[in-house]
Structure 1
Amino acid sequence: MARLLLGGILLLGFQPVLLRANPTQIGKIDPATLEPETLLGMTLEDAFNRLGPPHQVGVVRGSEPWQDDVLFIYPLGISLFWFQDRVWQVRLSAPFTGKVRGIQIGDSRDQVSEVLGSPYYTETSWNLYHFEGPSYPIRLRLFFKEGLVEDMYLYRGDF
């Protein structure tokens, strides 16, 4: 009986924490000033404060259950992939107009090579670049359609 009572007291003591978006940020994502690499490692609270609530929430299934991700989709072509309450991957696609390390949607493979040099790895439809981050490696995978950058995936390389 004492355990049941203690359990009830503990449950009553926990209150859900409501996340409220920073009202000045809602709908005010500016791709020109956004530094996508700074989105990696964000907490849920960080995301709400910086970007506001997502426009949509989805799930991306991996080949193994531990590879499943929660996906926050924001306007302007920004998507955040979550693992254990942190952003581990950022997808940037049209209509995103900002840059990642000097590259933007619509750049040609030649332009990418001029800016980033030789890729770490390449396939017919994508290039992979590897960079040193603040405390973990960062990878940038660029997908091409008809020779132009269509999607950019920026992610932690230690996953």
Structure 2
Amino acid sequence: MRTNRLALTLAGAAGAVAMLAAPTQASAAPAGATNRTTTTETCSSTRLQSGLMTWLCAEVTGSDVQLVGWINLAGPPSPGGPYPQPRNLWTALSGQVVGGASLGSDSKWTWFDLGMTDVRGVGGTVACGSTVRGSFGVTDPGWGPNPVTVDVVVPC
């Protein structure tokens, strides 16, 4: 009974994540707007890799850009198949202004407990009108990187 409830919960969570992780573009503020504290988010499409789903979002508040990589299960385990185990994954997050400075990079072991997991730590202040390109990849022994990318223009 516990396995069925868990499978249903994971299936529902995976469906919700798939809907939320679809490519999005935040709407621009109306002309003449002066409120620069609004945060907009632009996300990449999802990428599937070894039973995982990854995507990358750029959160823009005024001229500040923060990159956030996401990891989740791609869906519930196959009926009768083994249930995945939590594990450490090697994650690599990086960002840069296209044609300009790096916003940094962060490569580290990240504990993935089978729930939606975020990886943060790359970002900074960027001149308006600049394009920021971010990259996020996940690897584990036995499979190579398959990074997702996102580009976002910092509004003026």
TM-score, normalised by the number of residues in structure 2: 0.30
Larger-Rg structure: 1
Q: Indicate the structure with greater helix content.
A: 1
Q: Indicate the structure with greater strand content.
A: 2
